Amino acid sequence: MNKLKRDTTFWTITGQVTILNFFLGGFGPAQPLLRVEQNTSLTIAGLHGTMMGLASIIAGALQTSLVHRFGRKNSAWLGLTIFALGVPIFATGNSVAVTLPATLFLSTGFTITINNAITQLSHHYPKNSDLAISQMNGVNSAGYVFGTVIVGTLAFYDISWRLGLLACVPMVILVYFLGRNKIEGAHDHDVPKQVGKLSKSYWIAWFGFYASISSEFATAFWAATLIMDRTGANPAISILCIATLGTGMGLGRWFGPVVLKQFSVDMRVKIFLILQMASFAAFWLSHNLTISILLLLFIGLGISGQFAMISIRLIRLSDNRPDLAMGYSAYAAGIAIASAPFLLAFIGDYIGISRAYLIVPVYIAIAYLAVHKVSSEVLTKP
Protein backbone atom coordinates (compact mmCIF):
# COMPACT_ATOMS: atom_id res chain seq x y z
CA MET A 1 0.00 0.00 0.00
CA ASN A 2 1.44 3.38 -1.02
CA LYS A 3 1.92 6.05 1.63
CA LEU A 4 -0.93 8.55 1.57
CA LYS A 5 0.00 12.19 1.02
CA ARG A 6 -2.66 14.13 2.88
CA ASP A 7 -2.60 17.38 0.90
CA THR A 8 -4.88 20.42 0.77
CA THR A 9 -7.38 18.49 -1.36
CA PHE A 10 -7.63 15.78 1.28
CA TRP A 11 -8.04 18.20 4.17
CA THR A 12 -10.56 20.47 2.44
CA ILE A 13 -12.81 17.58 1.47
CA THR A 14 -12.35 16.06 4.91
CA GLY A 15 -13.34 19.38 6.48
CA GLN A 16 -16.55 19.46 4.47
CA VAL A 17 -17.56 15.97 5.53
CA THR A 18 -16.50 16.48 9.15
CA ILE A 19 -19.08 19.27 9.51
CA LEU A 20 -21.76 16.95 8.15
CA ASN A 21 -20.80 14.27 10.64
CA PHE A 22 -20.81 16.81 13.47
CA PHE A 23 -24.45 17.45 12.62
CA LEU A 24 -25.22 13.75 12.26
CA GLY A 25 -23.58 13.02 15.61
CA GLY A 26 -25.91 15.47 17.28
CA PHE A 27 -28.99 14.76 15.16
CA GLY A 28 -29.34 11.02 15.68
CA PRO A 29 -28.99 10.76 19.46
CA ALA A 30 -31.01 13.98 19.93
CA GLN A 31 -34.10 12.18 18.65
CA PRO A 32 -35.25 11.14 22.17
CA LEU A 33 -35.04 14.80 23.27
CA LEU A 34 -36.88 16.00 20.18
CA ARG A 35 -39.55 13.35 20.71
CA VAL A 36 -40.16 14.56 24.27
CA GLU A 37 -40.34 18.21 23.18
CA GLN A 38 -42.73 17.46 20.33
CA ASN A 39 -44.68 14.86 22.35
CA THR A 40 -44.64 12.28 19.57
CA SER A 41 -44.46 8.49 19.38
CA LEU A 42 -41.39 6.53 18.34
CA THR A 43 -43.00 6.09 14.92
CA ILE A 44 -43.51 9.82 14.30
CA ALA A 45 -40.03 10.64 15.59
CA GLY A 46 -38.64 7.98 13.25
CA LEU A 47 -39.98 9.96 10.28
CA HIS A 48 -36.97 12.27 10.63
CA GLY A 49 -34.85 9.33 9.56
CA THR A 50 -37.28 8.70 6.74
CA MET A 51 -36.80 12.27 5.51
CA MET A 52 -33.04 11.75 5.52
CA GLY A 53 -33.54 8.65 3.43
CA LEU A 54 -35.80 10.35 0.91
CA ALA A 55 -33.24 13.14 0.64
CA SER A 56 -30.54 10.61 -0.20
CA ILE A 57 -32.70 9.21 -2.99
CA ILE A 58 -33.26 12.72 -4.37
CA ALA A 59 -29.53 13.46 -4.21
CA GLY A 60 -28.77 10.19 -5.96
CA ALA A 61 -31.15 11.05 -8.78
CA LEU A 62 -29.43 14.41 -9.22
CA GLN A 63 -25.86 13.14 -8.93
CA THR A 64 -24.81 12.55 -12.55
CA SER A 65 -26.63 15.66 -13.83
CA LEU A 66 -25.08 17.92 -11.21
CA VAL A 67 -21.58 16.58 -11.82
CA HIS A 68 -22.00 16.90 -15.58
CA ARG A 69 -23.12 20.53 -15.27
CA PHE A 70 -21.09 21.84 -12.33
CA GLY A 71 -18.30 19.32 -11.76
CA ARG A 72 -17.59 17.34 -8.60
CA LYS A 73 -15.96 20.16 -6.65
CA ASN A 74 -18.71 22.71 -7.25
CA SER A 75 -21.42 20.11 -6.67
CA ALA A 76 -19.91 19.37 -3.26
CA TRP A 77 -19.92 23.08 -2.33
CA LEU A 78 -23.51 23.38 -3.60
CA GLY A 79 -24.56 20.52 -1.36
CA LEU A 80 -22.84 22.09 1.62
CA THR A 81 -24.65 25.39 0.95
CA ILE A 82 -28.03 23.65 0.86
CA PHE A 83 -27.15 21.92 4.12
CA ALA A 84 -26.15 25.20 5.81
CA LEU A 85 -29.41 26.86 4.76
CA GLY A 86 -31.49 23.99 6.12
CA VAL A 87 -29.84 23.58 9.53
CA PRO A 88 -31.26 26.79 11.11
CA ILE A 89 -34.76 25.88 9.95
CA PHE A 90 -34.51 22.47 11.62
CA ALA A 91 -32.78 23.76 14.75
CA THR A 92 -35.39 26.46 15.40
CA GLY A 93 -38.43 24.36 14.45
CA ASN A 94 -40.81 23.42 17.25
CA SER A 95 -43.15 21.06 15.41
CA VAL A 96 -42.81 18.13 13.05
CA ALA A 97 -44.47 20.28 10.38
CA VAL A 98 -41.22 22.28 10.35
CA THR A 99 -38.55 19.78 11.35
CA LEU A 100 -39.56 17.07 8.86
CA PRO A 101 -39.32 19.19 5.66
CA ALA A 102 -36.21 20.90 7.05
CA THR A 103 -34.61 17.48 7.50
CA LEU A 104 -35.48 16.60 3.90
CA PHE A 105 -33.94 19.82 2.59
CA LEU A 106 -30.70 19.85 4.56
CA SER A 107 -30.16 16.12 4.07
CA THR A 108 -30.35 16.49 0.29
CA GLY A 109 -27.39 18.85 0.45
CA PHE A 110 -25.71 16.52 2.95
CA THR A 111 -25.80 13.58 0.53
CA ILE A 112 -24.75 15.61 -2.51
CA THR A 113 -21.60 16.62 -0.64
CA ILE A 114 -20.88 13.09 0.60
CA ASN A 115 -21.25 11.52 -2.85
CA ASN A 116 -18.88 14.00 -4.45
CA ALA A 117 -16.38 13.79 -1.61
CA ILE A 118 -15.98 10.08 -2.28
CA THR A 119 -15.66 10.41 -6.05
CA GLN A 120 -13.20 13.30 -5.71
CA LEU A 121 -10.93 11.37 -3.35
CA SER A 122 -11.23 8.23 -5.46
CA HIS A 123 -10.06 10.25 -8.48
CA HIS A 124 -7.37 12.14 -6.55
CA TYR A 125 -5.88 8.96 -4.99
CA PRO A 126 -6.30 6.30 -7.71
CA LYS A 127 -3.71 3.92 -6.21
CA ASN A 128 -4.92 3.96 -2.60
CA SER A 129 -8.42 5.37 -2.65
CA ASP A 130 -9.50 2.88 0.02
CA LEU A 131 -7.00 4.36 2.49
CA ALA A 132 -7.87 7.97 1.55
CA ILE A 133 -11.62 7.49 1.88
CA SER A 134 -11.32 5.48 5.07
CA GLN A 135 -9.01 8.01 6.73
CA MET A 136 -11.25 10.87 5.64
CA ASN A 137 -14.06 9.04 7.41
CA GLY A 138 -11.77 8.48 10.38
CA VAL A 139 -11.21 12.21 10.79
CA ASN A 140 -14.84 13.12 10.31
CA SER A 141 -15.82 10.56 12.92
CA ALA A 142 -14.26 13.04 15.35
CA GLY A 143 -16.92 15.45 14.16
CA TYR A 144 -19.55 12.81 14.91
CA VAL A 145 -18.22 12.36 18.43
CA PHE A 146 -18.02 16.09 19.12
CA GLY A 147 -21.56 16.59 17.83
CA THR A 148 -22.83 13.87 20.13
CA VAL A 149 -20.88 15.14 23.16
CA ILE A 150 -21.90 18.76 22.65
CA VAL A 151 -25.61 17.97 22.25
CA GLY A 152 -25.49 15.57 25.20
CA THR A 153 -23.61 18.05 27.40
CA LEU A 154 -26.02 20.87 26.59
CA ALA A 155 -28.94 18.59 27.44
CA PHE A 156 -27.27 17.44 30.66
CA TYR A 157 -26.91 21.05 31.87
CA ASP A 158 -30.43 21.92 30.72
CA ILE A 159 -29.21 24.21 27.93
CA SER A 160 -30.89 24.07 24.53
CA TRP A 161 -29.36 21.19 22.56
CA ARG A 162 -30.33 23.02 19.37
CA LEU A 163 -27.41 25.42 19.84
CA GLY A 164 -25.05 22.54 19.15
CA LEU A 165 -26.56 21.93 15.73
CA LEU A 166 -26.59 25.65 14.87
CA ALA A 167 -22.81 25.65 15.27
CA CYS A 168 -22.63 23.89 11.87
CA VAL A 169 -23.44 27.14 10.02
CA PRO A 170 -20.32 29.14 11.00
CA MET A 171 -18.27 25.97 10.45
CA VAL A 172 -19.47 25.79 6.82
CA ILE A 173 -18.63 29.47 6.26
CA LEU A 174 -15.15 28.98 7.74
CA VAL A 175 -14.35 25.88 5.66
CA TYR A 176 -15.54 27.60 2.49
CA PHE A 177 -13.32 30.64 2.93
CA LEU A 178 -10.33 28.54 3.92
CA GLY A 179 -10.72 25.81 1.30
CA ARG A 180 -12.62 27.09 -1.73
CA ASN A 181 -9.45 27.22 -3.86
CA LYS A 182 -7.58 24.32 -2.25
CA ILE A 183 -9.03 21.32 -4.12
CA GLU A 184 -6.62 20.22 -6.85
CA GLY A 185 -7.46 18.44 -10.10
CA ALA A 186 -11.22 18.80 -9.67
CA HIS A 187 -11.96 18.41 -13.42
CA ASP A 188 -15.00 20.62 -13.10
CA HIS A 189 -15.68 21.02 -16.79
CA ASP A 190 -14.77 17.71 -18.37
CA VAL A 191 -16.77 15.09 -16.49
CA PRO A 192 -19.04 13.30 -18.99
CA LYS A 193 -22.53 12.34 -17.89
CA GLN A 194 -22.38 8.69 -16.94
CA VAL A 195 -25.31 6.54 -18.02
CA GLY A 196 -26.15 2.94 -18.84
CA LYS A 197 -26.97 -0.30 -17.09
CA LEU A 198 -24.85 -1.70 -14.31
CA SER A 199 -24.05 -5.37 -13.85
CA LYS A 200 -25.84 -7.95 -11.72
CA SER A 201 -22.76 -8.09 -9.52
CA TYR A 202 -23.05 -4.36 -8.86
CA TRP A 203 -26.68 -4.70 -7.76
CA ILE A 204 -25.90 -7.58 -5.40
CA ALA A 205 -23.18 -5.42 -3.84
CA TRP A 206 -25.66 -2.52 -3.83
CA PHE A 207 -28.12 -4.59 -1.79
CA GLY A 208 -25.35 -5.41 0.66
CA PHE A 209 -24.63 -1.68 0.95
CA TYR A 210 -28.30 -1.08 1.73
CA ALA A 211 -28.18 -3.69 4.51
CA SER A 212 -24.96 -2.26 5.94
CA ILE A 213 -26.34 1.29 6.10
CA SER A 214 -29.57 -0.06 7.61
CA SER A 215 -27.70 -1.71 10.45
CA GLU A 216 -25.65 1.45 11.08
CA PHE A 217 -28.56 3.88 11.22
CA ALA A 218 -30.87 1.61 13.16
CA THR A 219 -28.12 1.31 15.76
CA ALA A 220 -27.17 5.00 15.80
CA PHE A 221 -30.74 6.29 15.99
CA TRP A 222 -32.08 4.09 18.76
CA ALA A 223 -29.11 2.72 20.74
CA ALA A 224 -29.68 5.48 23.32
CA THR A 225 -33.29 4.38 23.70
CA LEU A 226 -32.24 0.75 24.14
CA ILE A 227 -29.72 1.75 26.81
CA MET A 228 -32.41 3.75 28.63
CA ASP A 229 -34.78 0.77 28.45
CA ARG A 230 -32.20 -1.76 29.65
CA THR A 231 -30.27 0.23 32.28
CA GLY A 232 -32.61 2.99 33.43
CA ALA A 233 -30.14 5.71 32.40
CA ASN A 234 -31.59 9.18 31.81
CA PRO A 235 -31.81 10.55 28.24
CA ALA A 236 -28.85 12.95 28.55
CA ILE A 237 -26.49 10.23 29.82
CA SER A 238 -27.66 7.89 27.07
CA ILE A 239 -26.85 10.49 24.43
CA LEU A 240 -23.34 10.84 25.80
CA CYS A 241 -22.99 7.07 25.57
CA ILE A 242 -23.41 7.27 21.80
CA ALA A 243 -20.13 9.20 21.64
CA THR A 244 -18.52 5.84 22.32
CA LEU A 245 -20.05 4.49 19.10
CA GLY A 246 -18.56 7.39 17.15
CA THR A 247 -15.19 6.92 18.84
CA GLY A 248 -15.09 3.30 17.72
CA MET A 249 -16.01 4.34 14.19
CA GLY A 250 -13.26 6.95 14.13
CA LEU A 251 -10.57 4.59 15.43
CA GLY A 252 -11.58 1.88 12.98
CA ARG A 253 -11.66 4.20 10.00
CA TRP A 254 -8.25 5.71 10.68
CA PHE A 255 -6.32 2.63 11.78
CA GLY A 256 -8.34 -0.14 10.10
CA PRO A 257 -6.78 0.18 6.62
CA VAL A 258 -3.31 0.15 8.19
CA VAL A 259 -3.90 -2.79 10.55
CA LEU A 260 -5.73 -4.79 7.87
CA LYS A 261 -3.56 -3.76 4.92
CA GLN A 262 -2.59 -7.37 4.18
CA PHE A 263 -6.25 -8.21 3.50
CA SER A 264 -8.25 -7.43 0.39
CA VAL A 265 -11.06 -4.85 0.46
CA ASP A 266 -13.67 -7.63 0.41
CA MET A 267 -12.04 -9.46 3.31
CA ARG A 268 -11.85 -6.26 5.32
CA VAL A 269 -15.60 -5.79 4.92
CA LYS A 270 -16.18 -9.33 6.17
CA ILE A 271 -13.95 -8.77 9.20
CA PHE A 272 -15.78 -5.56 10.07
CA LEU A 273 -19.17 -7.28 9.72
CA ILE A 274 -18.16 -10.22 11.91
CA LEU A 275 -16.92 -7.83 14.59
CA GLN A 276 -20.14 -5.83 14.38
CA MET A 277 -22.29 -8.96 14.70
CA ALA A 278 -20.41 -10.32 17.72
CA SER A 279 -20.35 -6.96 19.49
CA PHE A 280 -24.01 -6.28 18.80
CA ALA A 281 -25.05 -9.67 20.20
CA ALA A 282 -23.25 -8.90 23.47
CA PHE A 283 -24.67 -5.35 23.52
CA TRP A 284 -28.22 -6.60 23.08
CA LEU A 285 -27.81 -9.02 26.00
CA SER A 286 -26.26 -6.42 28.32
CA HIS A 287 -28.18 -4.77 31.18
CA ASN A 288 -25.14 -3.01 32.61
CA LEU A 289 -24.50 0.63 31.65
CA THR A 290 -20.69 0.40 31.75
CA ILE A 291 -20.58 -2.82 29.71
CA SER A 292 -23.06 -1.41 27.19
CA ILE A 293 -20.90 1.68 26.71
CA LEU A 294 -17.81 -0.46 26.13
CA LEU A 295 -19.63 -2.68 23.65
CA LEU A 296 -20.77 0.36 21.68
CA LEU A 297 -17.08 1.07 21.10
CA PHE A 298 -16.66 -2.36 19.48
CA ILE A 299 -19.87 -1.98 17.48
CA GLY A 300 -18.44 1.30 16.19
CA LEU A 301 -15.23 -0.48 15.22
CA GLY A 302 -17.29 -3.01 13.29
CA ILE A 303 -19.32 -0.36 11.50
CA SER A 304 -16.29 1.83 10.85
CA GLY A 305 -14.88 0.44 7.63
CA GLN A 306 -18.06 -0.66 5.92
CA PHE A 307 -19.15 2.56 4.19
CA ALA A 308 -15.74 3.30 2.69
CA MET A 309 -14.91 -0.27 1.70
CA ILE A 310 -18.32 -1.06 0.21
CA SER A 311 -18.25 2.25 -1.68
CA ILE A 312 -14.93 1.16 -3.18
CA ARG A 313 -16.55 -2.17 -4.11
CA LEU A 314 -19.39 -0.37 -5.88
CA ILE A 315 -16.98 1.86 -7.81
CA ARG A 316 -14.94 -1.18 -8.86
CA LEU A 317 -18.08 -2.94 -10.05
CA SER A 318 -19.33 0.10 -12.02
CA ASP A 319 -17.26 -0.43 -15.18
CA ASN A 320 -15.43 2.91 -14.77
CA ARG A 321 -18.57 4.93 -14.00
CA PRO A 322 -17.96 6.14 -10.43
CA ASP A 323 -20.48 9.01 -10.50
CA LEU A 324 -23.21 6.64 -11.67
CA ALA A 325 -22.19 4.10 -9.03
CA MET A 326 -22.32 6.67 -6.24
CA GLY A 327 -25.60 8.07 -7.52
CA TYR A 328 -27.21 4.64 -7.30
CA SER A 329 -25.51 3.98 -3.96
CA ALA A 330 -27.34 7.03 -2.62
CA TYR A 331 -30.59 5.22 -3.46
CA ALA A 332 -29.48 2.31 -1.31
CA ALA A 333 -28.47 4.62 1.52
CA GLY A 334 -31.71 6.56 1.15
CA ILE A 335 -33.91 3.49 1.32
CA ALA A 336 -31.90 2.24 4.31
CA ILE A 337 -32.01 5.52 6.23
CA ALA A 338 -35.69 6.03 5.42
CA SER A 339 -36.79 2.53 6.37
CA ALA A 340 -34.52 1.02 9.00
CA PRO A 341 -34.86 3.52 11.90
CA PHE A 342 -38.57 3.96 11.13
CA LEU A 343 -39.20 0.22 10.92
CA LEU A 344 -37.37 -0.38 14.18
CA ALA A 345 -39.34 2.42 15.85
CA PHE A 346 -42.65 1.16 14.43
CA ILE A 347 -42.01 -2.36 15.67
CA GLY A 348 -40.77 -0.94 18.97
CA ASP A 349 -44.07 0.84 19.58
CA TYR A 350 -45.78 -2.59 19.52
CA ILE A 351 -43.32 -5.10 20.99
CA GLY A 352 -40.78 -2.88 22.72
CA ILE A 353 -37.46 -1.47 21.56
CA SER A 354 -35.51 -4.45 22.90
CA ARG A 355 -37.14 -7.12 20.76
CA ALA A 356 -37.43 -4.74 17.80
CA TYR A 357 -33.66 -4.41 17.82
CA LEU A 358 -33.33 -7.99 16.64
CA ILE A 359 -33.79 -6.68 13.12
CA VAL A 360 -30.20 -5.36 13.21
CA PRO A 361 -28.40 -8.75 13.05
CA VAL A 362 -30.59 -9.64 10.07
CA TYR A 363 -29.22 -6.61 8.21
CA ILE A 364 -25.66 -7.53 9.17
CA ALA A 365 -26.10 -11.08 7.87
CA ILE A 366 -27.47 -9.81 4.54
CA ALA A 367 -24.50 -7.45 4.11
CA TYR A 368 -22.09 -10.31 4.77
CA LEU A 369 -23.78 -12.62 2.27
CA ALA A 370 -23.61 -9.93 -0.44
CA VAL A 371 -19.84 -9.58 -0.01
CA HIS A 372 -19.42 -13.35 0.06
CA LYS A 373 -21.47 -13.73 -3.13
CA VAL A 374 -19.77 -11.03 -5.23
CA SER A 375 -16.04 -10.33 -5.23
CA SER A 376 -14.69 -7.02 -6.42
CA GLU A 377 -11.06 -8.15 -6.28
CA VAL A 378 -10.88 -9.94 -9.64
CA LEU A 379 -11.62 -6.66 -11.35
CA THR A 380 -8.44 -5.09 -9.99
CA LYS A 381 -5.98 -7.75 -11.05
CA PRO A 382 -3.65 -6.86 -13.94
Asked whether residue 192 is domain-assigned, the answer is no
Asked whether residue 341 is domain-assigned, the answer is yes
Q: Supply the angle between the helices 289-304 and 235-259 in degrees, to the nearest 10.
A: 40
Answer yes or no: is pLDDT of 184 > 90.
Answer: no
Answer yes or no: is pLDDT of 149 > 90.
Answer: no
Nearest alpha carbon to residue 315 among 136, 184, 125? 125
Determine the pLDDT at residue 378.
Answer: 59
Asked whether residue 191 is domain-assigned, the answer is no
Q: What percent of the chain has pLDDT over 90?
A: 41
93-116 confidence digits (pLDDT tens): 888 999 999 999 999 999 999 989
Asked whether residue 279 is domain-assigned, the answer is yes
Residue 166 vs residue 182, higher pLDDT: 166
At residue 317 the predicted structure's pLDDT band, cuts being 50, 70 and 90, is: very high
Report DSSP letters for 141-207, one per residue: HHHHHHHHHHHHHHHHTT--THHHHHTHHHHHHHHHHHHTT---S--TT--PPP-SPPPHHHHHHHH
Across 16-31, average pLDDT: 86
Distance, in Å, from the CA atom of 89 to the CA atom of 105, rounded to the nearest integer, reads 10
Determine the pLDDT at residue 1.
Answer: 46
Q: How many domains does the chain have?
A: 1
Asked whether residue 70 is domain-assigned, the answer is yes
**Range with lowest mean pLDDT among 7-16, 203-212, 239-248, 295-304:** 239-248
Answer yes or no: is pLDDT of 189 > 70.
Answer: no
Determine the pLDDT at residue 381.
Answer: 44
Asked whether residue 188 is domain-assigned, the answer is no
Determine the pLDDT at residue 191.
Answer: 60
Answer yes or no: is pLDDT of 65 > 90.
Answer: no
Across 151-177, average pLDDT: 90
**Residue 208 near residue 369, CB atoms below 8 Å:** yes
Distance, in Å, from the CA atom of 280 to the CA atom of 276, rounded to the nearest integer, reads 6
At residue 2 the predicted structure's pLDDT band, cuts being 50, 70 and 90, is: low
Answer yes or no: is pLDDT of 10 > 50.
Answer: yes
Residue 59 vs residue 243, higher pLDDT: 59
> Whole-model pTM?
0.81
Distance, in Å, from the CA atom of 235 to the CA atom of 156, rounded to the nearest integer, reads 9
Mean pLDDT, the chain, whole residue set? 87
Answer yes or no: is pLDDT of 215 > 70.
Answer: yes
The parent domain of residue 104 ranges over 8-182+198-380
354-375 confidence digits (pLDDT tens): 899 999 999 999 999 999 999 9
Residue 68 vs residue 215, higher pLDDT: 215
Across 143-166, average pLDDT: 86
At residue 236 the predicted structure's pLDDT band, cuts being 50, 70 and 90, is: low
Q: How many CB atoms lie within 10 A of CB 325?
A: 28
Asked whether residue 193 is domain-assigned, the answer is no
Asked whether residue 100 is domain-assigned, the answer is yes
Determine the pLDDT at residue 190.
Answer: 57
**Residue 332 near residue 64, CB atoms below 8 Å:** no
Determine the pLDDT at residue 278.
Answer: 97
Answer yes or no: is pLDDT of 213 > 50.
Answer: yes
At residue 185 the predicted structure's pLDDT band, cuts being 50, 70 and 90, is: low
CATH number for the domain including 94? 1.20.1250.20
